[in-house]
Amino acid sequence: MKGDCQRFAEQRSFRFNLAYAEGFEAMALLVEDGLWYRPSSRLAVYGVLIRIFRRLLPRLLRVLRPGYDPREVPDPEWAIRWRQLHDGGETGLGQLDTRQIDAHSPKVMPA
């Protein structure tokens, strides 16, 4: 275990290590509260995992198929509008507010 932790610290990102630790903490809480041993709790966890994989698997299979080329994926509408503003000489576009991706026109983050 110590070797795994050392290897993760050296070879994995902080974000990965944080998510990995959070998973262990969540499992420890389920065990500590006695919920992990209840069939209904395990079924609920498995249900969440099934929903996650049901949504991700089609996308993953599409990306992993032979001949897949990400250049064939069309740009989202906001990216096209951003490129038009950029090509038109708009300043400040380097700070695009991606939290407002659905806005009609790209929004620049306030300074």
Q: What is the pLDDT of residue 100?
A: 73
**Sequence ranges of the domains in the chain:** 2-68, 76-111
- The vertex-66 CA angle with 65 and 67, nearest 5°, equals 115
pLDDT tens track for 1-23: 778 778 878 888 888 888 888 88
Residue 110: band (very low, low, confident or very high) from pLDDT cuts 50, 70, 90:
low
CB-based burial of residue 63 (10 Å sphere; 0-12 exposed, 13-18 middle, 19+ buried)? exposed
pTM value is: 0.46
Q: What is the pLDDT of residues 17-40, one digit of tens each?
A: 888 888 888 888 888 888 888 899
Give 111's pLDDT tier (boundaries 50, 70, 90).
low
